Amino acid sequence: MNYGFDGKVALVTGAGSGIGRASAIGFAASGARVIVSDVNETGGTETVEMIRAAGGAAVFQNCDVSEADQVKALVARAVSEYGGLDFAHNNAGINSMMANEYDDDVWAKSLGVNLTGVMLCMREESEVMLKAGKGAIVNTSSINGLVGNGAQPGYVATKHGVVGLTRHGALRWAQQGVRVNAVCPGVVETGMTAPLAANPEMRKVLDSMTPMGRMGRPEEIASAVLWLCSDQASFVTGHALVIDGGATAV
């Protein structure tokens, strides 16, 4: 669906693959000029090339969202390159499913990327949007930001925190033209799930985790992100939108 974002500027973190790539491509397909950001320069550059090949406009900016100076430079790039910032999808995140999240270093990294990174992005993005008196921010949380998970303390804690930051921003800027929402995906076919999904038996397990009997696709999450940024969602703020094939309905 084309949301008529002609002339608008969108920033997407974690856009080198998966949900972030699908979101960046979706913004561009609707006419927005896109700042594609990721720590993976190869993946980010590929996303830009895909957008340009389809006739869209995009540039890449390498950014570790856990570093304040890099986030500041990222948002400044949007302003210098395209003149402003209308939409932001704060999607960069890590999932330490194969590690011990109680390990000090793993915990610190999860907190830095998944939670501090979202805060730093919101802080810089909102500054530009508030000056313009308008804007929409969407943060990627997870169904693990709403329900528990006995295996991943860092992931669960940070994703719950993202929902909290989302509600905070929505209330703080509700009367200043800036809306803040979150998407909470269930199991999605991305680089995070790929190592497990490569095993046929594990793939069956992943598919069985939702009542619909399959994993979600990145484009299905991205479509919700675009809608939340569009004028069609003009009265929606502070919402954590679950997109999980029914997993949390049980």
Residues with active-site annotation:
155
> Residue 19: is it exposed, middle or buried by C-beta count within 10 angstroms (0-12/13-18/19+)?
buried
**Residue 217 near residue 18, CB atoms below 8 Å:** no
Contact between 109 and 93 under an 8 Å Cβ cutoff? The reply is no
Q: Are strands 135-140 and 240-243 parallel, antiparallel or unpaired?
A: unpaired
Residue 48: CB atoms within 10 A of its CB come to 23
Helix (H) or strand (E) holding 241: strand 240-243
Ramachandran class of 4: left when φ > 0, alpha when ψ lies in -120 to 50, beta otherwise: left
